[in-house]
């Protein structure tokens, strides 16, 4: 199975067939507008502006499962992102990433890469705090622990990397360049 086998809900109610992204490097992220990690939108937009022309796509899925940090409608979230962070990549429909109502693409990604690498002591301490707030996160294999968990997909549609919520998007720019085949 590859990411191209999925269709995902767009904020306008239609579906995005991921087959239309075949051959692209895709960054999938669950986001929230009221999270301590929300400023990561700046890094996401920087990467998008730098690498979109060479094949990077960002799939931004707002998610309200963690501390009700993504309140509002899909349109309100989109207005916030484009207004505050000047994002040019689109926000999709608000979804769930864990549990019985998890969006199928996230079930696939969690199964493909069940653990994220947490780099650096500061990030490890922050993830430890998250695990205390969400005890199930530390116990259930593949569980998405918080907003801004990121999955990087290769041009062949296979999940290549999973990054912790604490990982700033600019920290894995080299991984993106490698998958894009650019210097």
Residue 97's Cα: distance from chain center in Å?
10
Q: Are 16 and 4 in contact (CB under 8 A)?
A: no
63 is catalytic: no
Bridge-based pairing state of the strands 25-31 and 56-62? parallel
The catalytically annotated residue of 35, 47, 59, 77 is: 35
Whats the size of the chain, residue-wise? Answer: 183
Q: Distance of alpha carbon 14 from its chain centroid, rounded?
A: 20
Residue with tokens 């210097």: 183
Phi, psi of 155 (to 5 degrees): -65, -15
Contact 135, 154 (CB under 8 A): no
- How far apart CA 54 and CA 152 sit, in angstroms, is 15
Considering only CA atoms, give the Rg of the chain.
15
Which positions are annotated as active-site residues?
Answer: 35
């Amino acid at each position: 199975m590859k990411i191209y086998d999925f269709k995902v809900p767009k904020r306008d109610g239609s579906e995005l067939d991921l087959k239309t992204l075949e051959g692209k490097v895709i960054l999938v992220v669950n986001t929230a507008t009221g999270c301590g990690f929300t400023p990561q939108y700046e890094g996401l937009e920087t990467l998008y502006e730098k690498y979109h022309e060479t094949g990077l796509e960002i799939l931004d899925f707002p998610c309200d499962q963690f501390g009700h940090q993504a309140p509002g409608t899909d349109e309100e979230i989109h207005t916030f992102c484009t207004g505050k962070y000047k994002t040019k990549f689109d926000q999709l429909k608000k979804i769930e990433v864990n549990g019985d109502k998890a969006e199928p693409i996230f079930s696939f990604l969690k199964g493909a890469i069940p653990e994220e690498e947490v780099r650096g002591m500061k990030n490890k301490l922050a993830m430890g705090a998250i695990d205390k707030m969400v005890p199930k996160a530390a116990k259930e294999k593949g569980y998405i622990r918080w907003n801004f968990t990121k999955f990087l997909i290769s041009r062949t549609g296979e999940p290549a990397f999973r990054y912790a919520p604490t990982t700033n998007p600019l920290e894995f720019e080299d991984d993106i360049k490698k998958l894009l085949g650019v210097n």
